[in-house]
Amino acid sequence: MPLILPVNEKYPEWGDNCFIAANATIVGDVIMGSDCSVWFNAVVRGDVNFIRVGNKVNIQDGACIHCTYQRFGTTIGNNVSIGHHAIVHGCTLHDNVLIGMGAIVMDNSIVNSNTIIAAGAVVLENTVCEAESIYAGVPAKKVKDISRDLINGEISRIANNYIKYADWFRNVKAEQ
């Protein structure tokens, strides 16, 4: 069973057709839309501020979504994929964003729509990532504009695939 806990009388909420893995953790002031998935060992921790998640968002294995006490909540738009072991902290991700595996997006940063943050990239505090761009490196810098084909071929494809993957697990019972 996933660990779902209230914090200061704020209970996590989620919409229809969501998948939450058996060892995922979701606590506090977290509101997720429909068709979302929170995968194995992922943590969505709305204990010190709010976390708002749109529709069709996947938070992959080992990812951590958190916020900053009395400063920055975390807002995630629609059709967003957050890769394995990524950290999204006190920032805003607009619609149609892909956060690569192991990437870090820090406090008060904004990742605008149709943008990819490459695997392992570190988006420093207060950074504004341009729409329709790819950011890579440490610290993350814009490396190129993104094409419509890449938006549809990667960002949308991955988000759609995770809805399919969630269906595979939805009714599976763990062996005793």
What string of H, E and C letters represents the secondary structure of 48-79? EEEEEECCCCEECCCCEEECECCCECEEECCC
For residue 175, what pLDDT is reported?
Answer: 59
Amino acid 69: pLDDT: 96
Average pLDDT of adjacent 10-residue blocks, the chain of 176 residues:
96 97 97 98 98 98 97 98 98 98 98 98 98 98 92 90 93 64
25, 29, 62: which is closest to 44 by C-alpha?
A: 25
Cβ atoms of 74 and 49 closer than 8 Å: yes
Q: What is the pLDDT at residue 173?
A: 67
- For residue range 47-62, what is the model confidence (pLDDT) as tens digits? 999 999 999 999 999 9
CA proximity to 121, closest of 137, 100, 141? 137
* pLDDT for 33: 98
- Structure-token match 């060892």, residue found: 23
Show the domains of the chain with their CATH numbers.
3-169 (2.160.10.10)
